[in-house]
Amino acid sequence: MKLIYLAVLITLFASCTFSKQTLISPDSNIQLNFENNEGQTMYSVIKGKEIIIQPSLLGFNFKEQGALDSKFRILGTKNKSHDEEWTAPWGPNKQIHNEYNELEVRLLHETSKIKLHLIFRVFNDGVAFRYVFPEQENLTDFVILDELSEFALADNHTSWWIEADYDTYEKLYKKTLVSEATHVNTPITMRSKSGTHISLHEAALTDYAGMTLQLKEGSNTYVSTLVPWADGTKVKASAPFKTPWRTILITDNAAQLVESNTILNLNEPCKIVDTSWIEPMKYIGIWWGMHIGTETWVEGDRHGATTENSKRYIDFAAENNIGGVVIEGWNSGWDKWGAKDAFDHVSSASDYNLEEVAAYAKTNNVDLIMHHETGGDAEGYEKLMVPAFELCQKLGIRALKTGYAGGIYPRGEHHHGQYMVRHYQKVVETAAKYGIMINAHEPIKATGKRRTWPNMMTREGVRGMEWNAWSTGNPPSHTLIIPFTRMLGGPVDYTPGTFDVMLTNFKNERVAWNTDDLSVTRVHTTLAKQLALSVILYSPLQMASDIIDNYVDHPAMKFLNDLDVDFDETKILNASIGEYITMVRRSGSTWYLGSATNEEAREIDINLDFLDAGKVYDAIIYADAETTHWETNATDYTIQTATFKKDDTLMLKLASGGGQAIVFKESRK
């Protein structure tokens, strides 16, 4: 019946022009309505009988052509359906199902004679739309002053969000009603009174300004507010041109949000012909010592990135099944950090021999991960990027961590404006030519671009582990919000894996450099939760963040040794935003479980129905001890072994601020 209805719908739209159209999801559960009401274009969304988005206006303000928010005439419509399976070069799921129904509405603005196409897609877990300006006589170069896309929510939902900021996503999430979330970065995630989960974001951000959302006063309606250029305009473009997708994820529960591939599917297929060189890996680095204040990026007596120390980290990686080592502070220029042209990304510090360290890493079968900190000088980096990438290629370096801490050069531009969106895109495309994988810090938001450019492995764009080293830190609930907000756009380099959560075990004296009070600094989890977060906070380049001295001879290090981050499949077993989550990820035939809670201790029963039938699995369980509490006994933990089979049940006991990590391997007995 559904196929007959769809065929009739397609035929109808192909032959006629209507002022109102309806588009249904493949499972018939979500409905999008489009209408042209006296020249104003708007859409609305319903899930079952629940209104998700009330009629919401669409349009623009152009610098030269004025407002494009009314006086539209429909020239025609076109429908199509799409259903495919595609394979990603890396996880968290390698087999992706992409199914949607699409409506294209071709419009003419009767005053300016500008042609505009609206593309709507409806998936089983959400909707998306974008604007397309085709090649045309009446529009060549143009400047957007404002995008007027609205999201008129049906109610004052509970929401999780961070304040809009044109330069950073490194903020703690707030849980409030929508009415208190007046200007937000996306994703913003909401829960309706019925339990439906909704998240607003964008996909395929390539050559456009990042979108924030501003709440219209006295309403539950968000309006897109684009990050400006230094001159105050928002987007500079030439037809033909297409905007990013505006996305609305809609699911029955929190777990389904995390499992959604819709944002990924809205991006174009992979543009890299041979992806064999793109490989997930675990890594460690000369990094945490600088953040806790026992080492420095700058050359001197406490400089971390020496040749000798680098070799020590490489030795540890080789001995512990760690694929890579990042070395921050390896190059000269850190004493001029923040200044224009501080770094050249080629010249080593006086006590660091790049060629020697690179050769040593290669001999030990460890990837040396290059680090390019720009201090925000994107302009200078673009001038020097090619010789820096050529050096990486010459030395066999195939992974790179970039950084943009500080104000952007040219001054006046923002991290999340179109200037920097173009810059980040140029970096990842240039890196692909040189066989380099990217881990971007202080990045543009994640919008699923890893499908098109899978060498864009991971990025920060979150208030991560480092904040625990020099501030009051991240509360236990913080990492239980990230999977349902920031990570909906893609992998996150949060850098979990710190064992010395109280920050007490180090050889050198700590020196305060970014705080006035070292006594308040610590990691706000248990040790077992740090292991669990290595599974939960997905990154194909997954860091074990602590200094290696805290890993040596530590029994819990076996979990990080065993962890294979080249995941094939992911399942969410239970979830509640900001409270708890349990998930399993499969690499080959081995499953890894991560479960974590907020400040509330929990006992959670799970069914092991993800295991293969007819097989027995040997499990190693890393859990909080009876005495564990994140505030008082954070490093107490237990390691137990057991055997399980499909459909067994297991009770996970999580301490306050705690977690549990389990490795399930097929039994060889």
DSSP character string of 520-532: G---SS-HHHHHH
With residue 651 as reference, give the H or E element that holds it: strand 649-654
DSSP character string of 524-570: SS-HHHHHHHHHHS--SEEE--S-GGGTTT-TTHHHHHH-----SEE
Q: Could you say which of 466, 569, 579, 631 is catalytic?
A: 466
Please, where are the H alpha helices in 475-524?
none
Question: DSSP character for 631?
Answer: T
- Identify whether 466 is a catalytic site residue: yes
Amino acid (1-letter code) at residue 290: M
Own/partner pairs for 174-178, CB < 8 Å, 24+ apart? 175/481, 175/578, 178/153, 178/215, 178/220
Buried b (16+ CB within 10 A) or exposed e, 568-603: bebbbbbbebbbbbbbbbbbeebbbbbbbbbbebbe
8 A C-beta contact, residue 32 and residue 45: yes
User: Which of 358, 340, 338, 339 lies closest to 348, judged by CA?
Assistant: 358
**φ/ψ of residue 487, rounded to 5:** -75, -10
State the Cα–Cα distance between residues 650 and 137, nearest whole angstrom.
66
User: Which of 610, 612, 613, 664 lies closest to 642, judged by CA?
Assistant: 664
DSSP character string of 2-59: HHHHHHHHHHHHHH---SEEEEE-TTS-EEEEEEEETTEEEEEEEETTEEEEEEEE--
User: Which of 615, 614, 567 lies closest to 592, judged by CA?
Assistant: 567
Cis peptide bond upstream of 483, omega within 30 = no
C-beta neighbour count of 395 within 10 angstroms: 17
Decide: helix, strand or coil at residue 573: strand
Please identify every residue annotated as catalytic.
Answer: 466
